[in-house]
Structure 1
Amino acid sequence: MSGKSTSIRRMTAGDSVDVRQYRSSTSVSTALRRELVDCWVAVTNAGGAAGFPFPPVTTAQVEPAVDALSGELAEDRCRILVAERHGGVLGWLVLRADAPALTAHNGSVHHVQSHPAARGRGVGTALLSRAHEIARDELGLEQLRLAARDGMGLESFYARLGWKEIGRWPGALRLSPGDDRDEILMALHLA
């Protein structure tokens, strides 16, 4: 893969976003791992709500989290979806199917992120649209859920893509003393 900064500089509004899925830890190359880490660091340090609440974060902090996610990948229950343009990682997310029999028709989306330099160019929309298709068509799921941090404007973004707010956990997230945020719970029925 080429370096992320080169591919981001060459992007134009007319470029399409390719979304690839990775289904096993062996499918995540060293180069891809590095780009996932770099993206996660950039997103977090720009204030994004993608799993590390207290920026700044370093590569050394994020690498174990990427390795843990890669280790969970499995054809029938956990995949990483990566948005690319010109071979560089622009964003990614994790799609999981529930394992317990009572909820096996459900799944969840985690760590939705697009590189700050690629925002507003359809990366998040492409990732979530592809997650919808994979969840429905490949994993046989009927519903997806996710949690988003209040105060980021994310609920309106997800609502434009068909997600519905189903509840809030008031004050669940403490970003700093005096800065408590709701965790917004959202669901998408897959048709």
Structure 2
Amino acid sequence: MTDSDLDLDLDILQFTAPDQVTERLRREFAACWVEVTNAGGAAGFPFPPVDEGEVAPAVDRIVGALAPETSRLLVARARGELVGWLNVRRDPFELTAHWGTLHHVQTRPTLRGRGFGAALVNEVRSVARDEMGLEQLHLAARGGTGLEEFYGRLGWKEVGRWPGALRLAPGDDRDEVLMFLAPL
């Protein structure tokens, strides 16, 4: 498959229950997560390098928590190849049940800049609104990586910043940037 082939035929699939996620798909999630983390991505494992043995239990936790009302997984595929994924979750607590949080928005590092991440984030907006009945979405992004600009182009607004909240290494403290999308 050539790089230009990947730009064609993007499919976004949604998973709402653990039994929908095959063992092959779990391995693909883990492989993507390893690639993203080891390329310096802010994806839940702050200290690369990681391997699939470290990532697989986190994948299992996400898959195990899938439920139509509270947690969904969206997967982007181009020509059958996993090119990115994300998880959207709703807190069932009544005071906050009207909003959801995006977790682990990831695209394969070698395929960035082709719109796969934007397509995932735009699709989750529709899923959150039309299928989950959510009114707003939140996320936390690592500062200093360009993520504020990426999400800003998609309509998200920065609503807060925790200066120096994330310590990646001695002398490398980053802000945690809180972002919000409403209305959906």
* 2:81 paired with 1:51: no
* 2:74 paired with 1:81: yes
- Looking at structure 1, the residues matched to 52 and 121 of structure 2 have their Cα atoms a distance apart, in angstroms, of 26
Q: What per-residue deviation string (whole Å, max 9, x for no partner) do you get for residues 118-154 of structure 1? A: 1011110010011000000001111000000001000
* 2:141 paired with 1:154: no
> Counterpart of 2:119 in 1: which secondary structure?
helix
- Looking at structure 2, the residues matched to 10 and 58 of structure 1 have their Cα atoms a distance apart, in angstroms, of 25
**Contact 1:81/1:94 (CA < 8 Å) preserved in 2?**
yes
Counterpart position of 1:68:
61
Counterpart position of 1:172:
165
State the 4+ residue runs in structure 1 displaced beyond 6 angstroms.
none
- Looking at structure 2, the residues matched to 14 and 75 of structure 1 have their Cα atoms a distance apart, in angstroms, of 30
**Contact 1:17/1:85 (CA < 8 Å) preserved in 2?**
yes
> Counterpart of 2:83 in 1: which secondary structure?
strand
The aligned length equals: 184
Identical pairs, percent = 57
- Looking at structure 2, the residues matched to 108 and 12 of structure 1 have their Cα atoms a distance apart, in angstroms, of 32
Segments of structure 2 that go 5 or more residues without pairing to the other structure are none
**Contact 1:44/1:56 (CA < 8 Å) preserved in 2?**
yes
- Looking at structure 2, the residues matched to 190 and 136 of structure 1 have their Cα atoms a distance apart, in angstroms, of 9
TM-score by length of 2: 0.97
**Cα pair distance change 1:60/1:14, threshold 3 Å:** closer
Match of 2:35 among 42, 50, 58: 42
Counterpart position of 2:109:
116
Segments of structure 1 that go 5 or more residues without pairing to the other structure are 1-5
Counterpart position of 1:3:
none
- Looking at structure 2, the residues matched to 70 and 149 of structure 1 have their Cα atoms a distance apart, in angstroms, of 24
* 2:133 paired with 1:140: yes
Counterpart position of 2:21:
28
Shift of 1:13: 7.0
- Looking at structure 2, the residues matched to 144 and 53 of structure 1 have their Cα atoms a distance apart, in angstroms, of 24
